[in-house]
Structure 1
């Protein structure tokens, strides 16, 4: 191999190691790799920037706008409202949940579908008297399975098809070409979840159950009207920098002062709500001017229009990951106070301010009403939902948003125009008709995913142009003994393992040139191997970090890693068997 090939392989190894072992953003890792390869002269500027002009990337971007229009108009809420209902059994409940989710995910990116369903499922499970853990993991898996039905189902399918069009224009795939394999895979997967998977699901306590009793994580005191604290600020009263607790809100005369600032003046009979440990209560008892609250009902159980109790799932992109809550100035940045932290279905005990946040932690926050709208699209949180809040209302333009999406699907399916053109037209129609504002369209685009995809193209170009892809493919052929069947199985296993550790888009784009080179060297069609990359990249059932929807349900469901292995392991094997049997039948070697 040439020096460039060795350099490229070394960079790829470092990239996968960093993605699997660190919390550095995937987009930053891949952009850094492209910069290194460009600096070393392995690729030229045109190759480094090729991903930013790929049709697959722009199709994904415009599809994000279409998804945003469905979400903004309450389009998915409409389905939730009329489909979930009150089933007579757990099996019936799972059937009502999984079938529509798998169907919708064939046409919409599954991340917003799952994000919309989670709050509804949490409330629904409470009404049914069943643990939310019985529904949330199947919800995520069903959305992933549904994404294999069409090219619109996941960004990975669109990106791989974009690569195919770029390098082999005559082999471009239609919108539903992969449905010949995707529909059987989805059907078998959903049947497994309904028949066998539910027996493998553990009974886990959800974050909602942990947060049910506010008295367990709050301490309430009253300001003595005859004491020295009256008319003093929170800072002057010494309540700003307590060791094991902090002041969350003040109830005063039937109203509430939420997210209390240091300059807030205390009044007699103010009811102060502190979050922290029981040991902190001893500290409060010793402060002159405070006395225990004798009112029966907890302040947090009351409904105030100035205050919202919110559950937020921490994203792996959150800037506070690894930091202590107090040191990171969480309240100052977000305008919300952390009342409790749930991890693995259990509340994290101890000094709240000293807890180091981890991905998928569920936070119970006390915030002002604008917080939900302001941070609903924040990259720091995977999910934000109001505690005991109802689903978002159905708006009058939901039907129009669905009609635009249906029009995009029909235009692309019938070949009237390319998928990119149809998605572009649909995005424009969504904005012009008011289904989605320009601001919502911008917020709806996941720039991290788009940057990851674009940078992956640069790394893929380096593998191809340096000869590293051919060399790696040639080495791999030695293990398959010239058998196209063994190569197909090897490709599937390799990509499926990678996608369990790193982002599925990166796994697909980086392995694409290696896989196609191996097929060409073997003298067979590349199509079965390209389709295998699509399906294997979507087989993210083994770990919570394998796919974003898995991470979204991890905290609210109170799951452990072994739960994904127990339920997702057999599902991985089952979907692999179905795909590997059907792919060569539809796309012969």
Structure 2
């Protein structure tokens, strides 16, 4: 069949986008926005259709969730989630199971997007601490959420859409657990497949620099706070044994040094812990509840510690306090900042921080106000001043408030009291009003690359629907099935899965329902098995990053390429499809 000009142009644009995403490392948001602009300028879609995604509830919900996650991160709630839910598994396989099993269960009853959105920063930190490749955890996180959504009718919005179309067509619809007979085997098969073939399905995208030792090795003293949560816990229980790029060198207890600290040693109030390690490890220590810098100078600076940042700076040969101790040079009074650690050509420095004599070339880890870099950028006292990202000390006193807001968001959305959009917006507002996250950090938390890509995908989807390209693809695939019922189910599954990979899963389901209804009537069959097939095929959005919102959300944090989704997603789609198509005729014959 000859395609109309608009449909042909849309097909060329989509093919070009796929080629660019597959063969180059061009940012997905640029590719999608470029495709939308071409379709808009050629008149295939209207301005309202091109930018409809920016008013979409899903996009706004994701934006609000970024603010909620920022509140959890700045109060230490992320660390609590890591400790309580994920623990400390001893292998990549155990780590994947600890992550994917609870995510699949939660996604069966909760919206997938907030589940993944909450866990992305937690998984990132968790993988770094365990020295695991985050690229082998982020995609399984998204896939587990997708698999869990197939277990119940409320698991995904797509299931609800198809169920609504069934009722609209005069049927009774499905109960909440009716599809679990297929969903549970599909989810288990998918989880086990990922578990067994993890190293073959998912790439190791760790940067090369991660494998190179950082020559800047700091010596840092931390104090166990009296009455804090670490008192009475062992070194291992406190999470101080396995530090990425760092280790506990010795423990000073009331003047007695313990140089070889056992992981079973129980911490006491007032213990001074001397750590050695790279800057990221030192920054991690600042975020542990119950530890504070041994130098009391940090508490003499103006403002809350959560409003400050950590900076690295190199002492120059013209620095006025070079050759003096940090205390004698009155560093805090001179610069309105506090030195918390010093690195000197890999040497391990002993003694209290204030007694260290500064030399030209020493690298200092400094706590200061967020405006320090701008104020001192042009001074010749220091070289190479660099701010450490996400280095502010958490507001631990707000952690319970942040977790309460999170629980309230999930409860109100799950009970139907509020829509997911309303619950997410209310939670984001609650995080800001309660002081869990400041306005500046709330704005900075938005990942515009993900938001722009998802919003632009709606414009591409509109072009494929309006030109009839999506429907022609669906009809072309189902026409090959002939009159065999099982082959027609296979045709509906493949057509829906293909459309889901190219446009949104909801749009694919809406397009395929009338097609499957027509096929069922021609065969004299019930539409129910076809409707269930559409539910599972529309959820089989594994093969492309833009097939499902959670795939796009983990695209950047996992450091993936488009081809990574094809390598893992195609086998996942075929496996889940085989299990579903084997069971659906048996249950809804």
Length-normalised TM-score, structure 1: 0.55
1:59 aligns with 2:119: no
**TM-aligned CA deviation for residue 100 of structure 1:** 4.6
Give the match for residue 24 of structure 1. Answer: 26
Q: CA RMSD in A?
A: 5.6
CA distance in 2, matches of 1:421, 1:414: 13
Deviation of 1:137 after TM superposition, in Å, equals 1.6
Report whether the alignment pairs 1:78 with 2:80. yes
In the TM superposition, residue 372 of structure 1 has moved relative to its aligned partner by 0.8
Change (3 A) 1:401 1:72: same
Give the 3 Å change call, closer, same or farther, for CA 582–368 of structure 1 in structure 2: farther
Aligned to 1:522: 519
1:372 aligns with 2:432: no
Structure 2 equivalent of residue 395 of structure 1: 396
Whether contact under 8 Å (2:536, 2:580) holds in the other structure is yes
Question: What CA distance in whole angstroms lies between the structure 1 residues aligned with 2:437 and 2:586?
Answer: 42
Q: After TM superposition, give the deviation of residue 88 of structure 1 in Å.
A: 7.6
Contact 2:104-2:144 at 8 Å conserved across structures: yes
Q: Tell me what 2:480 maps to.
A: 479
Q: Within 1, Cα distance between the matches of 2:83 and 2:365?
A: 25
* Deviation of the 1:48 alpha carbon: 2.9
In structure 2, the partner of 1:243 is none
CA distance in 2, matches of 1:123, 1:157: 32
Matched with 2:535 is: 531
2-side partners of 1:446 and 1:114: how far apart?
12
Using a 3 Å threshold, how does the CA distance of structure 1 residues 488 and 54 change in structure 2: closer, same or farther? farther
Contact 1:98 1:139 in 2 (8 A): no
CA distance in 2, matches of 1:429, 1:141: 31
For residues 20-43 of structure 1, what are the alpha-carbon distances to aligned partners after superposition, in whole Å with 9 as ceiling and x for unaligned?
A: 333333333333333333333333
- Residues 207/537 of structure 1: CA separation in 2 closer, same or farther (3 Å cut): same
Q: Output the CA distance in 1 between the equivalents of 2:69 and 2:167.
A: 28
Output one character per residue of 1:321-343: Cα deviation in whole Å (capped at 9) or x when no partner. Answer: xxxxxxxxxxx9xx9xxxxxxxx
Question: Residues 397 and 371 (structure 1 numbering): CA distance in 2 closer, same or farther, change over 3 Å?
Answer: same
How far off its partner does 1:145 sit?
0.6
Query: What do residues 106-138 of structure 1 show as CA deviations (whole Å, max 9, x unaligned)?
Result: 65353662433333334335xxxxxx35x8625
**Equivalent position to 1:40, from 34, 39, 42:** 42
Q: What is the CA–CA distance in structure 1 between the aligned matches of 2:429 and 2:78, rounded to whole Å?
A: 21
- Which protein has the larger Cα radius of gyration, Structure 1 or Structure 2? 2
Give, in whole Å, the separation in 2 of the partners of 1:32 and 1:400.
42
**1:145/1:493 CA distance change after superposition, 3 Å:** farther
Equivalent residue pairs, number: 433
Task: Show the counterpart of 1:305.
Answer: 365
What is the aligned partner in structure 2 of residue 450 from structure 1? Answer: 451
Q: Is contact 1:508-1:537 (8 Å) kept?
A: yes
For residue 478 of structure 1, give the secondary structure of its aligned residue in structure 2: helix
Displacement of 1:422: 3.0
Aligned to 2:143: 144
Quickly say closer, same or farther: Cα 1:169–1:479, change in 2 above 3 A.
same
Seen in structure 2, the aligned counterparts of structure 1 residues 547 and 425 have a Cα distance that, compared at 3 Å, is closer
| Distance across 2 between alignment mates of 1:522 and 1:213 | 63
CA distance in 1, matches of 2:54, 2:469: 23
**Structure 1 residue 577 and structure 2 residue 581: aligned?**
no
What CA distance in whole angstroms lies between the structure 2 residues aligned with 1:184 and 1:20? 32
Q: How does 1:295-374 map to 2 (within 5 A)?
A: 297=347, 304-306=364-366, 370-373=387-390
Q: Distance in 1 between matches of 2:88 and 2:581?
A: 38
Q: Is the 8 A contact 1:161 1:173 kept in 2?
A: no
Any gaps of 5 or more consecutive residues in structure 1? 126-131, 217-255, 272-293, 309-331, 336-365, 377-391
Distance change in 2, residues 1:15/1:409 (3 Å): same
Change beyond 3 A, Cα 1:393–1:451: closer
1:516–1:447 Cα change, 3 Å:
farther
Q: Retained in 2: the 8 A contact 1:56–1:161?
A: no
Equivalent residues in 2 for 1:148-227, closer than 5 Å: 148-150=147-149, 184-194=185-195, 197=198, 210-212=211-213, 214=215
- Please tell me whether the aligned partners of residues 73 and 401 of structure 1 are also in contact (alpha carbons under 8 angstroms): yes
SS at match of 1:434: coil
Rounded Cα–Cα distance in structure 2 between residues aligned with 1:175 and 1:419? 18
Provide closer, same or farther for how the CA distance between residues 414 and 42 of structure 1 changes in structure 2, counting only shifts above 3 A: same
Contact 1:482 1:522 (8 Å CA) reproduced: no
8 Å contact from structure 2 (residues 493, 537) kept in 1: yes
Output one character per residue of 1:190-233: Cα deviation in whole Å (capped at 9) or x when no partner. 444556758999999996872236399xxxxxxxxxxxxxxxxx
Q: 2 CA distance for matches of 1:451 and 1:563?
A: 20
Judge conservation of contact 1:97–1:139 (CA < 8 Å) in 2: no
Deviation at 1:141, TM superposition (A): 1.2
Deviates more, 1:397-406 or 1:103-112: 103-112
Deviations 1:256-306 (A, max 9, x none): 995669xx65689x99xxxxxxxxxxxxxxxxxxxxxx977389x998424
Per-residue Cα deviation, 1:502-548 (whole angstroms, up to 9, x for no partner): xx68564775665456435535467435533542214669xxx9766
CA distance in 1, matches of 2:319, 2:433: 52
Match of 2:123 among 96, 114, 117: 117
Task: Give the distance between the partners of 2:210 and 2:531, measured in 1 at CA.
Answer: 49
The CA distance in 2 between the partners of 1:466 and 1:141, in whole Å, is: 35
Residue 11 of structure 2 corresponds to residue 14 of structure 1: no
User: In structure 2, how many angstroms separate the alpha carbons of the residues matched to 1:398 and 1:450?
Assistant: 27
| Residues 469, 517 of structure 1: 8 Å contact kept | no
Residues 220-235 of structure 1 mapped to structure 2, 5 A cutoff: none
Q: 1:99 to 1:215 in 2, by over 3 A?
A: same
Q: How many Å separate the matches in 2 of 1:538 and 1:396?
A: 40
Instruction: Name the CA distance, whole Å, in 1 between partners of 2:585 and 2:428.
Output: 36
Give the equivalent residue in structure 2 for 1:460. 461
**Per the alignment, do residues 95 and 260 of structure 1 end up closer, same or farther by CA in structure 2, a change over 3 Å counting?**
same
CA shift in 2, pair 1:296/1:211, >3 Å = closer
Task: Please list the CA deviations of residues 170-202 of structure 1 after superposition, one character each: whole Å capped at 9, or x if unmatched.
Answer: 699999998776655444444445567589999
User: Is the 1:532–1:583 Cα contact (8 Å) retained in structure 2?
Assistant: no
Offset of residue 78 of structure 1? 0.4
